[in-house]
């Protein structure tokens, strides 16, 4: 009987299988502080218990992306331990606040798998739900990942590619019922822009850049208990096409998101992701810059004090958005591909207070 877990290879996944992920995690103030140290997060709802209480919460909330990373990290041992790359996300919904002291667990369902033409790898699609200690869903998402085959010489014939949600509609966005903006003060977040001040089509250069070092990336990925080999094993990754360790794309999302504070200071939280892609690989030593494009604005059912902004967050490496001309995609060999400077393309909904409440 084998005592160690080599991780699932492509052949091991069965459509319809439920994967109950081990190691529930109680999130503490310590993790929240380390996350600030790794990303520079400045959103006051996650930093100040007094500000959070003024908005109707019992205390400060855990950063939405820290919740995502911890729920995601639980899944790695069963889903992507033998991954080549995480390819994308869809239908990501944040369902209720998480507080220090809450315990999170994750369960995933395999919803599709398709072998790649090279015969060496395949793509696996899963839906993951994260719950708290009361079994209440706090997060759900779809993702798809390229996974190595155990036996490249034997075709599997797998061709079950599922349809992914193309977007999360405003009607499906969840705002915490306890959120009360009647006592909202402008000064804790800083900035001057409210929901009314953003215009569809505008692009915001967030100006600041952040160079990610090897140690920071490694600490962040360990914090999330993400055990994917491509992020840690320098010996094994010498044999990959990159020849070095690949930075966890979720950490790139966090860095770009926190850079976006400059220009989106009053954002109260992430409501959902419509979709996302790690457009190009990121490595230690790369400097991340970010810009946001306002894609849409929406009223929220039952709320007149806040609205939802649909925003495209684009992360770049080693070049500022203004200098590069806000790049996204280019035409190559008759098809649109991501510009080589683009490392992240994230389409998400943000919760923003209105000026008049």
| Sign of the torsion angle spanned by Cα atoms 327, 333, 335, 340 | negative
Give CA separation, 233 vs 101, 218, 228, 229, in Å: 32, 11, 9, 5
How many angstroms separate the CA atoms of 222 and 245, rounded? 14
Q: Does domain 1-159 have CATH number 3.40.50.720?
A: no
Enclosing H/E stretch for 45? helix 44-47
pLDDT confidence band for 356 (50 / 70 / 90): confident
49-86 tens-digit pLDDT: 999 999 999 999 999 999 999 999 999 999 988 888 88
Query: For the purposes of burial, counting CB atoms within 10 Å of the CB of 323, is it exposed (0-12), middle (13-18) or buried (19 or more)?
Result: exposed
Whole-model pTM?
0.93
231-246 tens-digit pLDDT: 888 888 888 888 888 8
- Pairing type for strands 269-277 and 83-94 reads antiparallel
**What integer is the mean pLDDT of 99-123?**
96
289-301 tens-digit pLDDT: 999 999 999 999 9
For residues 276 and 306, is the Cβ–Cβ distance under 8 A? no
**What integer is the mean pLDDT of 7-34?**
95
**What integer is the mean pLDDT of 110-136?**
96
Q: Which CATH class is domain 191-212+247-357?
A: alpha beta
Q: How many other CB atoms are found less than 10 A from the CB of residue 329?
A: 13
Name the percent of the chain lying above pLDDT 90: 79
**Identical topology for domains 1-159 and 191-212+247-357:** yes
* Adjacent-strand bridge partners of 307: 299, 352
Taking the alpha carbons at both ends of the chain, their separation in whole angstroms is 64
Q: What does the domain layout of the chain look like in residue ranges?
A: 1-159, 191-212+247-357
pLDDT of residue 122: 95
pLDDT of residue 357: 56
How many angstroms separate the CA atoms of 192 and 212, rounded? 29
Considering the chain, what is the average pLDDT of its residues? 94
| Sign of the torsion angle spanned by Cα atoms 268, 351, 206, 279 | positive
């Amino acid at each position: 009987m084998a005592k160690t877990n080599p991780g699932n290879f492509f052949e091991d996944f069965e459509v319809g299988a439920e994967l109950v992920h081990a190691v529930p995690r109680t999130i503490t103030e310590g993790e929240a502080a380390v996350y600030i140290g790794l990303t520079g997060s400045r959103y006051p709802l996650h930093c100040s218990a007094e500000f959070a209480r003024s908005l109707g919460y019992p205390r400060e909330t855990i950063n939405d992306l820290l919740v995502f990373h911890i729920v995601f990290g639980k899944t790695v041992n069963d889903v992507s331990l033998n991954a080549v790359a995480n390819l994308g996300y869809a239908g990501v919904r944040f369902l209720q606040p998480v507080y220090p002291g809450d315990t999170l667990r994750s369960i995933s369902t395999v919803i599709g798998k398709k072998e790649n033409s090279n015969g060496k790898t395949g793509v696996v699609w899963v839906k993951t739900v994260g719950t708290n200690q009361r079994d209440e869903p706090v997060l759900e998402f779809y993702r798809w990942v390229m996974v190595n085959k155990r036996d490249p010489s034997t075709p599997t014939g797998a061709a079950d590619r599922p349809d992914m949600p193309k977007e999360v509609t405003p009607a499906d966005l969840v705002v915490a019922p306890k959120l009360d903006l009647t006592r909202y003060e402008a000064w804790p977040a800083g900035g001057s822009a409210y929901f009314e001040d953003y215009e569809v089509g505008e692009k915001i250069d967030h100006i600041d850049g952040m160079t990610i070092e090897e140690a920071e990336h490694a600490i962040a990925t360990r914090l999330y208990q993400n055990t994917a080999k491509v992020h840690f094993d320098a010996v094994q990754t010498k044999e990959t096409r990159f020849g070095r360790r690949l930075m966890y794309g979720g950490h790139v999302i966090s860095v770009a998101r926190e850079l976006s504070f400059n220009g989106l200071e009053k954002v109260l939280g992430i409501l959902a992701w419509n979709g996302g892609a790690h457009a190009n690989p990121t490595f230690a030593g790369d400097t991340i810059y970010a810009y946001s494009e306002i894609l849409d604005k929406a009223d929220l059912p039952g709320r007149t004090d806040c609205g939802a902004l649909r925003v495209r967050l684009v992360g770049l490496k080693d070049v500022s958005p203004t200098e590069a001309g806000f790049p996204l995609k280019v035409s190559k060999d008759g098809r649109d591909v991501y510009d080589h400077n683009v490392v992240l393309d994230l389409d998400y909904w943000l919760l923003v207070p209105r000026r008049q409440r």
